[in-house]
């Protein structure tokens, strides 16, 4: 599990911003995972390069799995657990391992998942970006469908 952005760096007088022990450990784990799964990463690189997919736009979805008790109180109410601040380090390590720039990401979903073991599942797919005009049109269609009588 990547560290939160809140726990990633600290300032050292005369030196500047320094990666925390937690971030260094996470980067090392990612590097070790890449070495152990070299074949998988080679396949990902091939798939992304196929048909110029690397030059297209990507959608990267992140599913952060936490134990149920970390997500919910005993009364079943959601606990404060910000996963959005974990994405950047996860993304940086992934795209460093694959060997491409994260500028290709045009869409993402970040989801909290209840499970037995903490982990991150990442799904990469191609994406067709929309324009602002298309976006406005989508909202107009929703509003119009709500206004129509049943």
* pLDDT per residue as tens digits for the range 105-132: 899 999 999 999 999 999 988 888 888 8
pLDDT level of residue 57 (50, 70, 90 thresholds) = confident
Show the domain range for 87: 5-147
Q: Which residues contact 28 (CB under 8 A, 6 or more apart)?
A: none
6: alpha, beta or left, given left = phi > 0 and alpha = psi -120 to 50? Answer: alpha
d(CA 132, CA 104): 19
d(CA 5, CA 107): 20
* pLDDT per residue as tens digits for the range 69-80: 999 999 999 999
Number of domains into which the chain is organized: 1
User: Which CATH number do you get for residue 106?
Assistant: 3.30.1330.70
């Amino acid at each position: 599990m990547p560290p939160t952005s809140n726990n990633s760096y600290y300032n050292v007088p005369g030196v500047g911003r320094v990666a925390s022990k937690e971030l260094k450990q996470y980067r090392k784990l990612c590097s070790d995972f890449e070495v152990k799964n070299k074949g998988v990463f080679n396949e990902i690189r091939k798939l992304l390069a196929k048909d110029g997919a690397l030059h297209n736009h990507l959608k990267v979805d992140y599913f952060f799995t936490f134990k149920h008790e970390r997500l919910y109180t005993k009364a079943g109410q959601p606990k404060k657990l910000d996963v959005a601040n974990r994405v950047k380090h996860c993304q940086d390590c992934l795209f460093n391992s694959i060997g491409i720039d994260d500028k290709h990401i045009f869409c993402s979903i970040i989801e909290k998942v209840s499970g037995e073991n903490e982990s991150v599942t990442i799904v990469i797919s191609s994406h067709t970006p929309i324009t602002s005009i298309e976006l406005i049109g989508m909202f107009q269609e929703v509003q119009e469908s709500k206004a129509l009588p049943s």
